[in-house]
Amino acid sequence: MTSTPLVMLHPGEIGSVKHIHAGGCATKRLYEMGFNTGAKIKVIKNDAGPLIVSLSGNKIALGRGLAYKVMINRDI
């Protein structure tokens, strides 16, 4: 299965984290915010400005630049 950057997902779509290829610090922060491998993510808002996603029921806003670097497996 091919993965897509998180930023490509539409609101309402669900996927799981496959890989993050941001810099060391940013990747670590993402893990710490719950974006570990396999974590289920639902996109809530993705229009202008940062994305809002839901991660085990919590809302997290992340910038579009960062959202390009989170690779997602769609529809698991």
Binding stretches for other proteins (CB under 8 A): 22-34, 36-39, 42, 44-45, 47-50, 52, 54-63, 65-66
Chain-centroid distance of CA 52 in Å reads 9
| 12 phi, psi to nearest 5 deg | 95, -20
Min dist CB 30 to other proteins, Å, is 7
Tell me the closest approach of the beta carbon of residue 20 to other proteins, in angstroms: 8
Q: How far is the CB of 8 from other proteins (least distance, A)?
A: 18
What phi and psi, each to the nearest 5 degrees, are found at residue 18? Answer: -100, -45
Cβ-based nearer residue to other proteins, 36 or 76: 36
Displacement of CA 64 from its chain's centroid (Å): 10
